[in-house]
Structure 1
Amino acid sequence: MEEDRYGLQLSTASAEAAAAYREGIDLLLAFWPGATAAFERAIMLDPDFALAHAGRARIHAIYQQREPALQTIGRARKLVATRGTAREQSHVATLSLAIEGRGAEALTATLAHLANWPRDAMVMALLLGAFGLLAFSGRADHDTARRDLCDGFAAAYGEDWWFMSNHGWALTEAGELAKGRDITTRAFALRRNNAYAVHALLHAMFEDGSVDEADALVTDWIGGYDRAGMLHGHICWHQALGALDRGDAAKALAVYTDVLRPAMDTAPPLNTLSDCASLLWRLMAEEQPIPPDAWAEVSTYAHNRFAGSTLAFAEMHLVMIAAAMHDNAGLKGRLAAMERRLAEGNLAAGRIVPHMLRALRAFAEGNWRGCARELAPVIGDLARIGGSHAQRAVIEDTYILALIRSGALAQARDMLDARLHRRPSARDTRWRALTDT
């Protein structure tokens, strides 16, 4: 009987197909190139191996290749119905819900599945990370929910490099920085070809203010990670954030130009959208020069990839683009759609979304008071957008700059003092000095 690396039965008689599947899972969980080829090799060796099709569908979904994803997971459902264990049938059904975009149902199904098969890492992975089902659930407590989930499953996984990468990052996002960084460091030591662990370490370094250490980590490690890797661009984005913290806007812009811009990046679309839009917005907000066609290039990419988006996290970045380009018609349409969904009770992130949309538009127009007024009642709800602390910080930054520029110095000072208490930041120190004038 063939098994995966976690001891779960695989319904294939081909040892070679099982080995290829195990390789594909490890590469996917590490966000390392080669997972697609491994799953396709498993399918070639055993065309009726349902879980190999499910793994391939998952990658299609990550890259927002909706039709291939639906076709491939549909094939997996048919195969697993006639040749699959109860665990495999539940595995495929749960992945199907996630791939179909049925987030609330997928979240419920994932938790039910894990109650029976806690070591099914591919299913657990759906819940975790900045783009997982919990992060995009609209819950304000999704950071602590991920931490609690990982705490509860730690005994089942032991010293597993994938689980520890996630457990460490979940602890970091929930505010347990020292413990989170320690576990993530141990995970990285177990498997250095693990972009997920490097990424989690960079988040820990962001949270504890280790800007120079983060820069050194990226510089020393990134050369061994192919640019086709899912997280290549995003890891470099973290380096750009560090450059901005040090006041080196030229280096941040070089990262954008050389790595992140849509013509250069091969990352999943949501990474490309969020990394490009948020870095350009940060540069613009700090009144740094950007290439004259940069926003237009990102806008074209977004229009082609996110025309029907309803995700609050994507919406945040789409509005940054529209606001920066002063696309008033587009902004009006987006705002009307969000207000309508909010009234219908169909907006998981709730009221923060239309407030955020109006605030970004006001900021781009130089209406600092308007921006601050819109964000003031919802600034404590940023977690509901999803993503990570580092990604959501762009909205906090926008609010602080709007406060400073509108003359609300005491409010800006209080926010900056709170952030500096949590972590040292050269940029926040510079901004803090502005509030004393």
Structure 2
Amino acid sequence: MACLDRYSLPLSTSSDAAAEHYRGGVDLLLSLWPGAAEALEDAIAADPDFALAHAARARFHAVRAEVTQAKAKIATAVELVERNGTERERSHVNVLSLAINGQAPKALAAALQHADRWPLDIIILGLPLGAFGLLAFSGMADHDQARVELCERHAHHFPENDWWFLNYRGWAHGENGDVVLGRTLTQRSLELRRNNVNAVHAMAHVLYEAGANDEAAEVIKDWLPGYDRSGTLHGHIAWHGALVALERGDLETALGIYAEEVAPSVSSGVPINVISDSASFLWRMQAYGHAVPAGLWGEAAGYASQYFQQPGFPFADFHMAMLAAATGDQVALEQRANALSTMVREGNLRAGEVVPALCHALRAFADGQYVACARILEPVAHDVVRIGGSGAQREIVQDTLLVSLMRAGEAEKARALLDKRLHRRPSPRDSLWLAGLAAG
């Protein structure tokens, strides 16, 4: 009898042990739960010629930002799959090879085509999904809607209680504005598989988008202690808890969470998460009128100096610019902004002009030039979605615009923006700001 994956897709291995380790390893990979690497290595050990085991191990290396290892493993998978793989497996490995070797537009096109033929091949279907997926980082302005359409196109293929698909379908709807459906789906996913960091992550986001801050704090407080600190997203889930505390004005709790679980010195996350979480938390704290304790900006900037020195990854560019602006590194900020502007002119930056504009706006804000910051951000604010990430991560741009408008004396514009935000998502911080504007 042929070996099969969890969705009954044939696997090119004759080893039952390899297939069993692979199925378990894929589930751990897709739930980002500790043990994925070990399970996939066991699959490879049971059958060294099993191409998809090497490919899945390459994918997990990539998730962990272990680029050299990922490229080596996927190269092995390419060689093996040509010798003994099925058509699906060859396509599967090809998509992953494109993604791991930095050919994101080709990888996205190939992943969508693959999913149309083999929608239950969830490693590939998952590549375009999520906050850091191929769609989010495509530079598209409508990637939130594109994720919904992708999930709905293939929903009929999945069992009703499939924990993996429920999670990503819920994430897609929650980020696209349907927080009721998003919450229902992600909550069900978490109930079905509690040891799934992607599900609690999606829950944190959809509760944030719904303005259910107290519930988000309780979910995180209840769930996080059961997730090992070595887990890829441990620091990022804690960051969500710190944001909730910061929103409700509990600075002591927010700083405590940051110091114990989010800061670069304690987080075991991958660089893009560590940099974006630390920079955005400290920037929010400062924008909300709190003094950032001595040394925190320097620590975050020191960590970030090891990564993303080459401009062209918009989500990283934004957060690197934030650190440069906050620490007064005007040379690095201007060099990044100029390089990004050149890429825009040459047609090499899919996210477009919003990226260098953000660099200039952040510098203006850090320099106290609030009128200039607002004038830069107002015309590009609707395009910020193109840098990727989540709504919660991108909201910092709107926070910066709001504070700039208030400090520049543009009360009417600030009030209109706050009214719009509160209509979308109740926020204790926004309510306080609006009350302050009303009081004059």
1:310 corresponds to 2:315:
no
The residue that corresponds to 2:389 in the other structure is: 387
SS where residue 4 of structure 1 aligns? coil
> Which of residues 211, 214, 218 is equivalent to 1:212?
214
The residue that corresponds to 1:26 in the other structure is: 27
The residue that corresponds to 2:267 in the other structure is: 265
The residue that corresponds to 2:352 in the other structure is: 350
> Which of residues 213, 237, 240 is equivalent to 1:238?
240
1:249-264 residue pairs with structure 2 within 5 A?
249-264=251-266
| Cα-to-partner distance string for 1:125-152 (whole Å, 9 max, x where unaligned) | 1100000000000111000100111111
Deviation at 1:53, TM superposition (A): 0.9
The answer to whether the Cα contact below 8 Å between 1:70 and 1:100 also exists between their aligned partners in 2 is yes
Q: Could you tell me which amino acid in structure 1 is paired with residue 197 of structure 2? A: A
The residue that corresponds to 2:200 in the other structure is: 198
The residue that corresponds to 2:165 in the other structure is: 163
Distance in 2, matches of 1:331 and 1:423, equals 32
> Which of residues 161, 186, 189 is equivalent to 2:188?
186
1:126-165 residue pairs with structure 2 within 5 A?
126-158=127-159, 159-165=161-167
Gaps of 5+ in 2: none
1:98 corresponds to 2:99:
yes
The residue that corresponds to 2:424 in the other structure is: 422
| Cα-to-partner distance string for 1:385-419 (whole Å, 9 max, x where unaligned) | 10000000011100000000000010010010001
- Percent identity over the alignment is 49
Q: Could you tell me which amino acid in structure 2 is paired with residue 353 of structure 1? A: V
Higher relative contact order (CA 8 A, sep 6+): 1
Q: Could you tell me which amino acid in structure 1 is paired with residue 357 of structure 2? A: H
Distance in 1, matches of 2:334 and 2:64, equals 29
SS where residue 306 of structure 2 aligns? helix
Distance in 2, matches of 1:382 and 1:308, equals 20
| Cα-to-partner distance string for 1:209-245 (whole Å, 9 max, x where unaligned) | 1111111111111111111112211111111111011
Deviation at 1:49, TM superposition (A): 1.0
1:55 corresponds to 2:56:
yes
Gaps of 5+ in 1: none
Q: Could you tell me which amino acid in structure 1 is paired with residue 195 of structure 2? A: N
The residue that corresponds to 1:336 in the other structure is: 338
The answer to whether the Cα contact below 8 Å between 1:135 and 1:386 also exists between their aligned partners in 2 is yes
Q: Could you tell me which amino acid in structure 1 is paired with residue 332 of structure 2? A: G
Distance in 1, matches of 2:84 and 2:273, equals 36
The residue that corresponds to 2:223 in the other structure is: 221
The residue that corresponds to 1:363 in the other structure is: 365
Distance in 1, matches of 2:181 and 2:263, equals 35
> Which of residues 369, 375, 378 is equivalent to 1:376?
378
Deviation at 1:14, TM superposition (A): 1.1
The answer to whether the Cα contact below 8 Å between 2:32 and 2:232 also exists between their aligned partners in 1 is yes
Distance in 2, matches of 1:48 and 1:228, equals 30
Distance in 2, matches of 1:392 and 1:433, equals 24
Alignment RMSD, CA only? Answer: 1.0
1:30-109 residue pairs with structure 2 within 5 A?
30-109=31-110
Deviation at 1:364, TM superposition (A): 0.6
> Which of residues 394, 397, 400 is equivalent to 2:399?
397
Distance in 2, matches of 1:290 and 1:15, equals 55
SS where residue 186 of structure 1 aligns? helix
> Which of residues 291, 294, 297 is equivalent to 1:292?
294
The answer to whether the Cα contact below 8 Å between 2:179 and 2:206 also exists between their aligned partners in 1 is yes
| Cα-to-partner distance string for 1:330-356 (whole Å, 9 max, x where unaligned) | 011101100100000111111111111
Deviation at 1:308, TM superposition (A): 2.5
| Cα-to-partner distance string for 1:261-319 (whole Å, 9 max, x where unaligned) | 11211112211111111001111212323232222222222121222252100101000
Q: Could you tell me which amino acid in structure 1 is paired with residue 18 of structure 2? A: A
Distance in 1, matches of 2:293 and 2:48, equals 49
Q: Could you tell me which amino acid in structure 2 is paired with residue 43 of structure 1? A: I
The answer to whether the Cα contact below 8 Å between 1:253 and 1:290 also exists between their aligned partners in 2 is no
